[in-house]
Structure formats: structure tokens, C-alpha cells
Chain A
Amino acid sequence: MSEFAIEFENVTKKFGDNVLFEDFNLQIRQNEVVSIIGSSGSGKSTLLRILMTLENIDGGKVLVNGEPLWHRLHNGIWLPADERHLHRMRGQLGMVFQHFNLFPHMTVLRNITEAPIYVLGQSRESARAQAHDLLRMVGLEDKAEAYPAELSGGQKQRVGIARALAMKPSILLLDEITSALDPELVDEVLEVIRKLAAEDAFTMILVTHEMYFAREISDRVCFFDAGKVVEEGPPERIFNQPEHERTRAFLSSFLKAPSSNT
């Protein structure tokens, strides 16, 4: 297995005429927990969306476990990835969304079992057993038959985490997963992530505004600004002795307005 779970090599990403990433580089080691912080529009979420194949790239290369995500080798030539290649690559990744995106027409149990059954080909029984285990892990074993509309935001997000884990990804992408929650519901979600991080079985990338949490669980923190990693390092150093003016300004603005979300 490749030393790195994720590598961005000279990646370019544009939205129309607007260049978000240019010659962007980032490497994330296996089982590393990386938090990405920065202001809105700095490209944090786009980074995750590129990895989840929700956004294409305009140049460069993205490697997942050593293999190109957005390119496939065909007769010795690199071609843009087709749906088949993406389907194969996606199995390694899982994502939890800011706005949950649970399937409202399915019960909690079906939200978690649908993909294992129809994508991975698991039997109904084993998918259900696994779903109950996951629900127990996130503390919602009594909600299996509930519909998402009957849950609180924090409960929805814990189901979102269970749903992503049911696909057994090796890389977990967490996109501002507490930003849409009422403050009193944030902790129950972070508690689940804390447990996952402690297991050390996943590579995790968190895009977050929860600075204390990022500091607590990350191996590394990256500060993004205008599509660039301005500063990165161990959390203690980034939070205690930021070297860059930008980082300092961002962190101090956060101390003043800790609840500012996108």
C-alpha cells in the first residue's frame, strides 16, 4: 500500500474564469487525521468534493492510495476517468455532509443498509446486523425504524456517519459536519468522531470550524487561504505559534466570533 492515502499533485481547479486551485499540492499519510481550517471560499470543501468525485479537476493529478482518481490508464495513455473507474475508486472513500443528506423516504435502518446491499452486494441480514452495530456505536440503536424527519439534527448527523461507515471506507471525509447543528447538539456528533479518530483505523480529513475539536483530535492542521495551504503543522504549533500573518488573523477572528459558520 502506498505510504500516502491521498496526494494532490499540481492540481488546478477552476469555476468558470475563477481559478480556485493552481498547482495545488497536498499529501496525507495513511491513518492520518487532518483538519482543514480557513475562511469561506478558501477551497476547503472543494478539496473534499474533488476527493468524493463530486467535482472534477482541470489539471494535475489526485492519487488515492497511490492510484489516480480522475485518470485511468488505457493502452498506456492517461485518459479522463469514466464512471467505471470512478465507481471502483469511490469504494475507498466515504463522506459525511454538512446538511446530512439522509434519504428522507427511507427509515434510518434502510439509509444505512441500502448501499451495502445494492452496491457491495451484502446479504440483507449481514447489512442489517452491521447497521445495528453502527447505530449502537453512534448511540441510536432505538431509532432504526424512525424516518430522518423524526430525528434531531445531531441524531441525523450521527446516522450520516453510520451510513458512511457502513461502506467500510478507508478514508473518511467530514465536510463541516457540525455547522448546521444547534450548539447544544454539536458535542454528541463530535463524540462519535473522537471515538473514530482514537481507533486509528481511518484516514480522516475534517473541514471544520470547531477549532478546539480540530486541535484535540488532529495529527495535523492545514490553514487554507485562497486555494493555498498557507500554513500547516501539528495543532499545538498552528494554534499556539502561527507563523503567518493570515493564520494569526484568522485564528484571532475566530476567538472573537467562535460561531461564525458558512
Chain B
Amino acid sequence: MPVTEILTALVGGAVITMKIVVMALPLATLMAFTAGLMRISEHRSLRWLAVIYVEFFRGTSALIQLYWIYFVLPLFGLSIDAVTAGVAALGLNIGAYGSEVVRGGLLSVDKGQTEAAIALNFTPRQRLWRIILPQALVGMMPPFGNLAIELVKATSLVSLITIADLTYRAKSLADMTLQVEQIFGLVLVFYFLMAQALTLGIRALEKRLGKGMQRGGLS
């Protein structure tokens, strides 16, 4: 099989992979912030709910979570298509890790910032959204970048629930043509490029969020 044809087939798979990343990333972010904020809530029940979520999704295999959502839930009457199942499993899984980043980021902001915000009579909600979170976000960006890359790579799991993503196409092409070195070589490059694109995006975001802020010293 000519390399151009292989390339065309792989690009089709990469598009599906990217689609899943683009859908799972917002879900993961939402879960990360929801659970991360719940972890520092004053309400014990909210904290516990977040702990259960995080420990479950961190403590069990992502592949088995995917199988549960796709193969087991239908037995309880909850049928989900493969892409939704893939997005849900990956988003919930990465979101669980992300919530620890959010929690750590919020706790890392100097206590004096909260005190100044109280002294200026900001409400608890304003303290969080106007003062603490904007500062915490800057520090969250590098670990978020790691997780985003983890997400890109973890999408290959969805090839096991019938989705024709990059990995799925590579495997079937390899079975068909036996040109394994070319195919898997190209697949490596594809994943690498997607990860690089995300890294660059997150670096740019970090720079923008961090305007005016420099590490060390008192503010």
C-alpha cells in the first residue's frame, strides 16, 4: 500500500481522535473544577462526594471504566453510543486527576490574599472568583498541560470499543498491509504533533493568565 494512502487513512483516524479530545477536554475541565472546588467546600457532604468521585476514577483502570460505561451500563438500561461513552470515560477519568490540581492550586495561593480580600469586604464568592482563582490558575497550567497530553494518549483506549480512531485505523492497516514500521512510525508522529499543539496552547494561556505576576517576592 502506498504511503499516501496509509497517510490518508490515518488522517481520518486522527480527526476522530481529535474530536474525542476536543469533547473530553471540556468535560474533564468541568469535572476538575467542580470536584476541586467541592474538595475545599465548607460542607462535609460535598467534600465527601468529591473524594468518592476522585478516588474511584483515579483508583480503577481507565479501560475498565470505559468498558463499564459502554458494555455494562446498557445491561441496566442505559445505552450510550461509543463516542459518548469514550468521551464520558476519558473526561471523568482525567477530571478526577485534574481536581487534585485545582485543589492544590487554590490552596497554594498565599493566605494573605484571602485576608486582604476579607479586609476589603469582598463576599466569599468574590474572594474565590476575583482574587484567589485567577492567581491559582497560573500555577495550575503546567499540570493541566500534562493531563491534557495524558488525555490525548488515553484516547487510544476508545479503539477497543469499536471507534475508528487513530490507533484503531493503525492496527487494522497494519494487519492488512504488514507495513508496521511505516504505520506505527506515522502514528507516533501524529500523537506527538497533537500533544505539541496542546502544549503550545497551554503555554500561551499560562503566559496570558500570568500577566504581571512573577514568582517569589511579596506582593
Q: Do A and B bind each other?
A: yes
By a beta-carbon cutoff of 8 Å, the part of chain A in contact with chain B is 52-54, 83, 87, 90-91, 93-95, 97, 99-107, 114-115, 118-119, 147-150, 153, 156, 163-164, 167, 180
Enumerate chain B residues within 8 angstroms of A119, measured Cβ to Cβ: 120-123, 126
Enumerate chain A residues within 8 angstroms of B214, measured Cβ to Cβ: 104, 149
Shortest 6 CB-CB contacts between residues of A and residues of B: A147-B212, A101-B116, A115-B120, A104-B219, A101-B112, A95-B119
Enumerate chain B residues within 8 angstroms of A118, measured Cβ to Cβ: 122, 126, 130
Enumerate chain B residues within 8 angstroms of A87, measured Cβ to Cβ: 121, 123
- Within 8 Å of chain A (Cβ to Cβ): is B51? no
Say which residue of B113, B121, B217 sits within 8 Å of A91 (CB atoms).
B121
Asked if A104 contacts B118 (CB within 8 A), the reply is: no
Most buried by A among B113, B121, B209: B121
Asked if A99 contacts B112 (CB within 8 A), the reply is: yes
Q: With the chains together, A165 CA to B122 CA distance in Å?
A: 15
Q: With the chains together, A102 CA to B135 CA distance in Å?
A: 12
Instruction: Say yes or no: A107-B121 contact (C-beta < 8 A), given A101-B116, A118-B126.
Output: no
Say which residue of A83, A114, A164, A180 sits within 8 Å of B119 (CB atoms).
A164
Interface residues of B in 106-135 (CB under 8 A from A): 110, 112-113, 115-116, 118-124, 126, 130-131, 134-135
Asked if B219 contacts A148 (CB within 8 A), the reply is: yes
Known: A94-B119, A105-B134, A149-B212. 9 other contacts (CB 8 A): A83-B124, A90-B119, A102-B219, A103-B113, A114-B130, A149-B217, A149-B219, A153-B218, A167-B120
A-B contact count (CB 8 A): 87
Assign chain B's interface to a size class: 20 to 34
- Can you identify 15 A-B contacts, CB atoms within 8 angstroms? A53-B118, A90-B119, A95-B119, A97-B112, A97-B119, A101-B112, A101-B116, A103-B113, A104-B213, A105-B211, A105-B213, A115-B121, A119-B121, A149-B213, A164-B119
Q: With the chains together, A148 CA to B219 CA distance in Å?
A: 6
Q: With the chains together, A150 CA to B126 CA distance in Å?
A: 25
Enumerate chain A residues within 8 angstroms of B134, measured Cβ to Cβ: 105
Most buried by A among B115, B118, B138, B219: B219
Asked if B121 contacts A180 (CB within 8 A), the reply is: no
Q: With the chains together, A114 CA to B219 CA distance in Å?
A: 16
Enumerate chain A residues within 8 angstroms of B209, measured Cβ to Cβ: 105
Q: With the chains together, A54 CA to B138 CA distance in Å?
A: 26
Q: With the chains together, A103 CA to B115 CA distance in Å?
A: 11
Q: With the chains together, A115 CA to B120 CA distance in Å?
A: 6
Asked if B213 contacts A52 (CB within 8 A), the reply is: no
Asked if B212 contacts A167 (CB within 8 A), the reply is: no
Enumerate chain A residues within 8 angstroms of B120, measured Cβ to Cβ: 114-115, 119, 163-164, 167
Most buried by A among B110, B116, B210: B116
Instruction: Say yes or no: A105-B212 contact (C-beta < 8 A), given A90-B118, A115-B121, A118-B122.
Output: yes
Enumerate chain B residues within 8 angstroms of A54, measured Cβ to Cβ: 115, 118-119
Q: With the chains together, A93 CA to B119 CA distance in Å?
A: 8
Residue of A nearest to B112 (CB): A101
Q: With the chains together, A90 CA to B7 CA distance in Å?
A: 66
